[in-house]
Each structure stands twice: as C-alpha cells, then as structure tokens.
Chains A and B, each alone.
Chain A
Amino acid sequence: MSQPLLEVRNATKIYRGGFLRPGQQLVALQDFDLTIPEKPATITAIAGESGSGKTTLANLILGFITPTSGQILYRGQDILTMSTRQKLEYARQVQAIFQDPYAVYNPFYRVKHIFDLVIKNFKLAQSKQAARDLIEEALKMVGMRGEEVLEKYPHQLSGGQRQRMMVARAYLLKPRLIVADEPVSMVDASLRAMILDIMLRLRDQQNISFLYITHDLSTAYQVCDDIYILYQGSIAEKGDTIQVIQNPKHPYVQLLIDSVPVPDPNQKWDTSVTLPSEEALRSEVDTGCRFYPRCPYHMDRCLVKQPPLYEIDSGTHRAACYLYDQPLAEAQSGGMEQ
C-alpha cells in the first residue's frame, strides 16, 4: 500500500481545566484515526454537532495545538518532529479556509494584501508581473477577475466573494490538502453551491484533497467522498458518504439524519415521535459508549467499555456500536431460541 498523504494515528486531545476548575478535564478528541490517500484527491467530511471535536481535529492537523497523545503524519513524517524547512513546506501544502469570511481580513488593507503576503512569505514570484499572473490564475479558478476585486477593501465585497478569495488564496500555494472548517455555513444558499462547486473542481482538476468540516450533513452528502461522524470526541460512524447517509447504522447517526428537515412539505416530520429530553441529550457518561444515555437500544455492556468500530460491509463502512458485534449478536439470538 502506498503511503497516505495525511494520517492521523490514535490522536487524543484533552483540555485540562484552568485555575478556576483545577483537575477537571475535557476529552475533546479520543483515539481518532483518519487516513487521506495520496491519490486520487478526495473530499473527506468530518461531521458532528458543536462540541463533537471537529474543530479540535482541524486545529491539530494545522498544528495550532499539539495532541495529548497520538501522531499526525504527513507523508509518513510526524508534523511535531519536522525540521524548520519541512514545516514551511507543510505550511504551504496544507492550507485552511475558515468559517467566517468577514473575520479573516484586515479591514485597513486592500484585499490584494492577503495575496501579497503569501507571495512574499513563500517567495512564489520573482517579479511584480509574475506575482500578478499568479494571482489572476488563482482568481480565475474561483470565477473572479483581479481588476474587479484586488483594489477593493474587504467591506466592499460580499460574503461569498470574500470566501471565494480565501479559496483563491489557498489555491495560490498549490496545496495538496485544504482544511475547510465550515466554509459555507455563513454564506447564502445560492453562493453555497458555488463554493462547493469550486471544491469539486479543485479536487478533479488540480488534485487537491479537502477535509470538509461541517455540521451540515446535507452539504456533506452532496460533495464528499468519505465521511467521519463524530460524537463527543469519538468516531460514531465512518465510511463512504453515500453508504453512511443512505444507510446509517449507529443509533446516533440515525437520529441525526432523521432530524434533518426534509425540504418537502408533503413529507412532514412525524410529530408524534417523542424526542429525547434535552437533559438526556446533554448528559455524559464517564465509561463506555458516550451515546448511552440517549440511545434507544442501550445494553448493559455499553457502559463497560467504549465500543470499537465494527465492520458494516466489506468496504470502509464502520460503526462504533455493539449492535454490530456479529459473533455476539449471533450468540444472543441463539440463546433466545433455547
């Protein structure tokens, strides 16, 4: 097997309480594994609700924080033990786009500034003309023209334009991977499609992989190849996006997909369903499956130990739920027959 582009191995991140709450700790991410292949380029979704650890994962990969244990390997090299030169190269090849396209610009500079900075820092061009050509090429990729936007100030651009500029800036560096943290949650529906379409084009034409971090399963379903669904810091279910969304196995993922409003007034929610009370939604358990208090199928063994990822099919579909512990399930049904 060829070496993957990016590999997260058994990563755990624990935040410890500050001086106000000494001794308290919060497991933001637990024993997380992820592989992004070198080829072909893929879009991988990391989905989950707030507090599930998806942004912690992005921050770990981007090197903003260090894991409590575990490793992040880029082409086999641990990003924590990279030399300065390797680090610079990593910073070029792994780019990021963030949620809020309003907050990333310095309002005092013309938008051209964000391009000038990257070109200077990474010494991408020898002359002004070469720099301009690079910028124009990047802007063309996102369907914009330099003369329209470069001399403007950030407040003169719409949210969609700003977010496309951020994609163009990332693309300028010819990265191999772009970590996109909720890139479309703040832009309107019509522009959302445009940004997702740019992601697809960069994947297919430029061989750039994406880590698409989102809470929105419907957009993930539209564009992603693989999906990892997190629940309170652990993977609940992962696999091929179409498989997982069409045929969810983990009770949490089933609840999640069932809760997405269907854009069809003829398919109304079954309002007679009693939803779990919000305390149940928020309660936590220290041992075993984190979903135990909310789970309609919970069993005693769920409290003993966190379930590992069980195989659902021969492909990549896996779910962390004892319901899919095959030998045991057979043994149980056998026991009932007696």
Chain B
Amino acid sequence: MTVTLNGTNSDRETTHNTAVLQIKNLRVHYATPLGDVIAVNGVDLTVFEGETIGLVGESGCGKSTLAMAILRLVQPPGRIVSGQVQIHGIDVMSLSERELRQVRWSQIALVPQGAMNSLNPVMRVKDQIAEAIETHQMKRSPQELKERILRLLAMVGLPGRVYSMYPHELSGGMKQRVCIAMAIALTPSVVIADEPTSALDVVVQRVVAQTLLDVKRTLGVSMIMIGHDMGLMAQLVDRIAVMYAGNIVEIAPVKDIFAEPLHPYTQLLLASIPSVKERKPLVVTEGLTHDLRRPPPGCIFQLRCPFVMDICREVVPPLRELRPNHYAACHLY
C-alpha cells in the first residue's frame, strides 16, 4: 500500500486532470400525489483531483439533492431513478450497504447543511470525531486516536482544548470547523460541503472559508461546495457549475464565468449580486420557475429567459463546450 496517508504537500495546484468523481446522467425524482418532481434531471459532472467545484443555484434547484444522491443518501419520497456515480472508478450505485459505508467518509465525506446543529449535544468533541473514525474504519489504540484527533483540530485551526469540550461551549463557527475536521478525519478524496458558511456572521464566515481553503491546500482534497453566495464562490472555488431546475446549465472556470457568463440564467445571477465595492441599480426580473412536475418541452429556462426564441420552446439545448473548458446549455450560441 503506497497510498499517501495524509497527502503530504505536492504540486497539486496543477494536477487538475485526473478525474476523482464522475457523475453520469444522474436523475433523482421526488414522488408527490400529483406526479414526480424532477429534482435532478440527468446531471453529468466530473470532479478532478484537487479542485473545488462550486455548485450554485437558487433554493429548490436540486443542488442539495444532487449532493445527497452522490452518497446515495436520498430519502423517500425521493429516489435515484438512474445514473452512475464513480469514485476512483468504483461504481457507487452498485455497492451493497456495507461496502457503501466504507466508501462514505473514507472516500467521499459530506458536511451537510446546518452541520453545526447536527453535533450530538451530550457528547464531547473528541468522542464525536472518534466515532466518525471508528465507524468507518477499524478501531485504534486510544493514544493513536487522541493524537489523530488533535492533529485534525489543529488542521482546522482549533485549539487543543476543544478536544474535551461539549458543542454548547463552542461558537457557531467553531462547531462548523469541528464538522469540517470530522469530514477530513479519514482523508477522503472528495469533500462535499453544503452551504458550509451560511448562518454564520460575516467575519466568522471568512474564518471558516479560510479554514476550508487551508484544508484543501494541505490535503489536496477535491471539494464540491454548494451555495448561493456568488461572492463567496468567487473567493473559494476553481470551477462553477450553475444549476437551474435540476439541470446544470453552465459550467466553467470561475474567472471565465465571472468574465463572460454565457447562459442567460448565469447572467441574471451575476447581475443580481449586491456588492460593498460598487453601488449599482437593482436588476429586477419577473418570472417564476415552471412547475417541476411538468417541465416545458425545450429549454427549462424559457419562461424566465429574456432572449427566448422559437427553438427554445421545442428543442432541449445540450450542454456544449462553447469556449475552452466553458460549457453552457443555450441555443443562443
């Protein structure tokens, strides 16, 4: 076994070519009395080694569902209808519950939405992290375990005394960092963080965001960061995937998306960012998303699109590479 244990630093800034996680044609539906809601509509996504992908979109667009589906954690009435998820070539969809447990956490870890509220209030931090380690890997000697937990806490910038503290003794940002420490406890290759800094004050948000950047840099782990704050995304991620009504409508390196957003929805999303650097007139758009049970034929964004054409009402635009590494699903191009 020559697998690097804690991913000692190498030139990972540039190693963006090996695919770690591959998602193909993933579909998730939620059953309702009036028909299935299509939450994730045939999504393809590849995550490369050491990169951070930002998954953005408004509430209800399916970004959290996609994250849960990658780990096969979708709960009824939701179900994965079809699709493939491969991590390091392992097909996650065909694993047994037992095998899946090995993959979760040690290969892909999740920091769920509102993770800081999911800590057990009557367990000390050390016991919670130890539990995460021992559930997914074998038992270890107490000494080894303690050293490892202390190392993890140091990695997320928490002082050693947090080790024996209870969650209520910690602030929101510290709890969130404990959750990040748990997520990286088994040095997974992919960490999925669902709105890791929402509900935190802006100064603390920055501390937690910086923690994530540091962790990524020292471990070389790939990340999928879910959120709706484009400002935060600009600061944290390498590539952005924009989701609308269950579909990825645009995916590109972060600088390209900010410099030249191609999909009208991305343009709308970027135009509506308020900034403290520049006071600009508000961009107001009318329009609602269609009923997710009955998507219109053709482009899913047609009801809100300012540039809608006849073809958009008939033909679904495929996700095409319109600029180098810049994909968008739109008939305009």
Contacts and interface: CB of A to CB of B under 8 A. Distances in A.
Interface of A: 49-50, 143, 158-159, 188-190, 192-194, 196-197, 200, 215-219, 221-223, 242, 245, 255-257, 259-266, 268-269, 271, 275, 277-279, 281-282
Given A189-B58, A278-B171, A257 B272 contact: no
A261 B236 CA distance: 9
Nearest to A255: B203
B231 interface: yes
B210 interface: yes
A261 B209 contact: yes
Interface string B15-53: 000000000000000000000000000000000000000
Contact of B174 (A223, A259, A268, A278): A278
B205 interface: yes
B285 interface: yes
A215 B197 CA distance: 14
A49 B202 CA distance: 8
A189 B286 CA distance: 12
Contacts of B204: 278, 281
Nearest to B59: A188
Interface stretch (B101-109, B275-283, B319-327): B275-283
B232 A261 contact: yes
B166 interface: no
Contacts of A143: 286
Given A193-B272, A218-B274, A261 B203 contact: no
B163 interface: no
Contacts of A263: 230-231, 234, 258, 270, 273, 275
Given A50-B201, A278-B174, A262 B234 contact: yes
Contact of A221 (B171, B274, B283, B288): B274
B82 interface: no
A189 B276 contact: no
Contacts of A255: 203
B211 to A, nearest CB: 10
B231 A261 contact: yes
A35 B276 CA distance: 25
26 contacts: A159-B59, A192-B272, A192-B274, A193-B284, A216-B274, A218-B273, A221-B279, A222-B279, A223-B282, A242-B279, A259-B202, A259-B203, A260-B276, A262-B231, A262-B276, A262-B277, A263-B234, A264-B258, A265-B258, A266-B258, A269-B206, A271-B210, A275-B206, A278-B173, A278-B174, A279-B159
Nearest to B253: A265
B210 A196 contact: no
A200 B282 contact: yes
Interface in B256-280: 258, 268-270, 272-277, 279-280
Nearest to B157: A277
B127 interface: no
Contacts of B305: none
Nearest to B288: A158
Interface in B169-225: 171, 173-174, 201-207, 209-210, 213
A207 B235 CA distance: 39
B202 A265 contact: no
Contacts of B213: 271
A50 B273 CA distance: 22
Contacts of A256: 202-203
A264 B234 contact: yes
Contacts of A216: 274
B228 interface: yes
Nearest to B158: A278
Contacts of B171: 278, 281-282
Contacts of B206: 259, 261, 269, 275
Interface in B82-98: none
Given A259-B203, A260-B202, 4 more contacts: A196-B282, A218-B274, A221-B276, A262-B231
A65 B254 CA distance: 47
A197 B284 CA distance: 7
A150 B98 CA distance: 52
Q: List the 10 shortest-distance A-B pairs measured between CB atoms, nearest first.
A: A261-B231, A49-B201, A218-B274, A188-B58, A263-B231, A259-B206, A193-B282, A261-B232, A189-B272, A265-B254
Given A189-B273, A190-B269, A217 B202 contact: yes
A189 B269 contact: yes
Nearest to B214: A271
Nearest to B177: A278
A133 B274 CA distance: 35
B255 interface: yes
Nearest to A187: B59
A222 B278 CA distance: 8
Contacts of B274: 192, 216, 218-219, 221-222
B163 to A, nearest CB: 15
Nearest to B230: A263
Contacts of A222: 274, 279-280, 282
Contacts of A219: 274
A245 B276 contact: yes
A194 B274 CA distance: 13
